[in-house]
Chain A
Amino acid sequence: MVRCLIFPALAIGLGLLGSPTLSAETEVSRRLFDFTPNSSDNPAIATIDGVAIPVSELRAYRAAERQQTVPADATVDQKRALLNDLIDQHLFVADAYAHGVDRSDGFVRQMEATRTMMLTDFLSAEVYQQTGDVARAGRDPVQRLGEQLFDAATIDISNEAYAVLKRLAEALNAPAASFQKLGLPASEMDSSGRLKFLIATIPAMELAHYEGKSLPLRQVAITYAGIPAPRPNLQTPAGLVEMLKPFLIPELLASEAARRGLAETPQFKNKLQQNKNALLRFYVQDSVERDANTRLRSSDLESQLRAWHDAHRRDYLVSSDNGTTRPASFAEARDRALADYSVALRDELLAEKAQQLRREHVVTIDEPTLAECHL
């Protein structure tokens, strides 16, 4: 049920279903690849600041990313090299936690959205299992459930915010000339300029409240503005309802999943934690890559690339007319040199980061377990 009420425009953020945190002391809370508990059958092969990395994590790491380079019957030295690479990945995650990345606003929002997606995903799996073959069902049962939940939900719409949205929609769909009346300079009359002008005028208001959560007007307005013309008609309640559905149905499905207890299952909790750690790992990789890109934008890039090309001449060849190859000039190889240099920079900075973290954390390797373990 969608209701239009007059309620104060409050800058309320999206509500949470509950923060998906696990105790830092949970033995699997830092895992990236495997969540088999530590045990005598799954002993620790290394520790980082006392947190164990068991053999199962090493096996799963090899299977996930290193099966091409590390054989199953690896030597001790090969296993040690693999383990050290895994330790580096865990150090990246540990560093992210240590610097509070997981508590940063952006990352918290990212995890909220990921949790919502996972809840709808888990609910979908349950629904498809119950309803059977989607092809024979005729209509997607999850889509049908989402529509049912939307129809049953009590959704309060702010009349004030809706009025703003309608005016925005009218302006967006108006001829460009009308923007001149609003004072927009002619130099900014392209679609991007008009869009920025309109977005800047959107007040901080909540468009809808539902199940203890709220939907900001700005989020809906920006999304609406991004739809290519012809845009949906928001001047009617029916049009507004259709606009709201894609925003609210996933949230309603997530709530339904939580009501069914799916968020409390070990499978969900572990998967959520795995996503969290994966995203933190990517965060650290990304910060290093940003540093690399900064170097690539320095004023002496050309000299760096020439030095790289000189040192790797044998890697840069071009085909001759007679079917042979010859060394490429710098001009001929520049694009390739830039590409390869960007990768080398990234790898160098990641290695430096890992070495720095090794100095800051206590890392131990259980050599007997390493020698005995099978990948």
Chain B
Amino acid sequence: MKTPWCFALVALLSASASVSHATAYFHNTGTTANGGGFSNWDGSNLDSPCSITESTSVAYGGSGTSIKCQANYAGSSYTGRYHAMKTHNNGYHLGETGFYGFAFYLQSAWDFSGSQQYQLFQFIANYSDTGCDDWQPSTMVWIQGNQLATRRNYGSSACSRSTQSWTNLASVTAGVWHRIVIQAHWTNDSTGYLKLWFDGTKVLEKLNQAVTINDGREYRMDVGIYANSWHDQGYCTGSTNRQIWFDKVGVGSTFADADPAQW
């Protein structure tokens, strides 16, 4: 299913990058429109069994809209992937420091059975010129069972990299708004760090370690649902219909600039 030409509540009327010592680089208030810039996405990472719509009845922050991402398992004969994500090209590059935040709501009947992964958020870059894996995600945030997890992806190059996951960070409740903020200093040496807050509580702090690959290309930021296990494992455990709503996505230089309800 392709993204319908849904409409967007324009944030142009009031949103603009805050020019101050605390700088917001990207703010999206639950709209699906593309077009780049401060409030609009650059595109979608969308596979055929999935959909992205703008839900006008939802208002985590009172804006009146949120992004509804849905993945439907298409059976064993479908060998493609299951992305329903909005993309923002300027995620991060090597050496940067930043905050990244979003709010999400799992459908109330979310099936927590099994151990398959459902990504909510990822950074990803195109390494097709390296001869190794083409699109390589770095840090990702996912749900496995009812547990929140994230990871670092680091190494000397795209062809020589390692990943380390941190699981059981928090227990996610279905049918309730949650919010996540990530703080990272993106290096491939011992000066890097990765921190994650869940509903305002810091649940991960990994200091003095490499958190990205030693490569200066820009990583794209994807927000939505990616049922990677359905593709990677070739089957679906439990419910074949997965819905997550997203709102208040932010990127900035301080905690408040990325925390969804700040604006």
Contacts and interface: CB of A to CB of B under 8 A. Distances in A.
B59 interface: yes
A219 to B, nearest CB: 7
Contacts of B17: none
Interface in B175-220: 175-179, 183, 185, 187, 189-191, 198-201, 203-204, 207
Given A128-B109, A301-B21, A114 B261 contact: no
A118 to B, nearest CB: 7
Given A68-B168, A128-B241, A110 B59 contact: yes
Nearest to B107: A121
Contact of B254 (A247, A271, A338): A338
A199 interface: yes
Contacts of A129: 109
B259 interface: yes
Given A226-B8, A336-B97, A281 B61 contact: no
A64 B99 CA distance: 22
A246 B56 contact: yes
A67 B243 CA distance: 26
B254 A339 contact: yes
A113 B256 contact: no
Contacts of B53: 246
Interface stretch (A73-81, A154-162, A283-291, A352-360): A283-291
Contacts of B171: 63-65, 67
A283 B61 CA distance: 10
Given A222-B10, A226-B9, A134 B241 contact: yes
A336 B148 CA distance: 26
A7 interface: no
Contact of B33 (A118, A136, A226, A232): A226
Interface in A289-326: 289-290, 292-293, 296-297, 301, 315, 317-319, 325
Contacts of B253: 335, 338-339, 342
A290 B255 CA distance: 10
Contacts of A33: 173
A343 B10 contact: no
Interface residues of A, number: 77
Given A106-B62, A338-B22, A125 B13 contact: no
B54 interface: yes
B108 A228 contact: no
A275 to B, nearest CB: 6
A65 B261 CA distance: 19
A325 B22 contact: no
A195 B256 CA distance: 28
B13 A134 contact: no
A56 interface: no
B245 interface: yes
Nearest to B181: A343
Interface size class of B (residues with CB under 8 A): 35 or more
A223 B8 CA distance: 5
Contacts of A23: none
A133 B241 CA distance: 8
A64 B58 CA distance: 24
A282 interface: yes
A278 interface: yes
B203 to A, nearest CB: 6
B20 interface: yes
A22 B52 CA distance: 34
B56 A319 contact: no
B64 interface: yes
A167 interface: no
B170 A118 contact: no
Nearest to B99: A339
Contacts of A214: none
Nearest to B73: A135
B165 interface: no
A296 B256 CA distance: 10
A109 B65 CA distance: 12
Nearest to A129: B109
A64 B255 contact: no
Contacts of A335: 96-97, 253
A118 B10 contact: no
A319 B189 contact: yes
A318 B95 CA distance: 10
Interface in A25-74: 33, 63-68
B35 A228 contact: yes
Given A65-B170, A113-B62, A325-B191, A343 B22 contact: no
Interface string B64-89: 11100000111100000000000000
Interface of B: 5-10, 12-13, 20-22, 31, 33-35, 49, 53-62, 64-66, 72-75, 96-99, 105, 107-109, 168-171, 173, 175-179, 183, 185, 187, 189-191, 198-201, 203-204, 207, 239-241, 243, 245, 253-257, 259, 261-262
12 contacts: A33-B173, A64-B170, A110-B62, A114-B58, A116-B58, A195-B13, A228-B34, A282-B177, A282-B179, A290-B262, A319-B191, A338-B253
Interface of A: 33, 63-68, 106-107, 109-110, 113-114, 116-118, 120-122, 124-125, 128-129, 133-136, 140, 191-192, 195-196, 199, 219, 222-228, 232, 243, 246-247, 250-251, 254, 271, 274-275, 278-279, 281-283, 285-286, 289-290, 292-293, 296-297, 301, 315, 317-319, 325, 335-336, 338-339, 342-343, 346
Those 9 A-B pairs whose CB atoms lie nearest each other, nearest first: A226-B10, A125-B109, A113-B59, A250-B57, A342-B254, A226-B8, A293-B256, A116-B57, A65-B201
Given A296-B22, A317-B191, 16 more contacts: A63-B171, A113-B57, A117-B58, A223-B65, A226-B33, A232-B7, A243-B7, A278-B176, A281-B200, A286-B261, A293-B262, A296-B21, A319-B187, A335-B97, A339-B98, A339-B183
